[in-house]
Amino acid sequence: MCSGPSDIHVLTDYNAIAKWRKLIGPTKVYQAQYNAPDTIRGMFGLSDTRNAAHGSDSEESAVKEIGIFFENFDIKKWYESEEKFYNLGQVHFDPVAFLHSIDKTSINTTKKRIT
């Protein structure tokens, strides 16, 4: 998947795989250059093996590929305890430290029984 320096990210959104693959364009660079010239591969791909971008083609592939690049990323933990903060807009990126953090300050942690 890599032949040189790369920026590697885990993307999350509703239908993220389909959205990303639409943005990067067809796998075959020459097809992308003629049929989808405004895509990443259409603009920057050199050949079918040097196509400028990669995108998993399924959730199963994404899980496998995330594991290759991010050994410590726990997908189950993401869905169980972190995704809700992303959906609430409470994941923040620090460009200096180049890290994401979760702002949990506005979550009500007190449990009250309603009778």
Phi/psi for 101 (5° steps) reads -135, 160
Do residues 76 and 67 make contact, with C-beta atoms less than 8 angstroms apart?
no
Helices (H), the chain: 16-24, 29-35, 40-44, 59-69, 75-77, 83-87
Active-site residue flag, 54: yes
Q: Which of 9, 54, 92, 100 is catalytic?
A: 54
Instruction: Point out the residues that are catalytic.
Output: 54
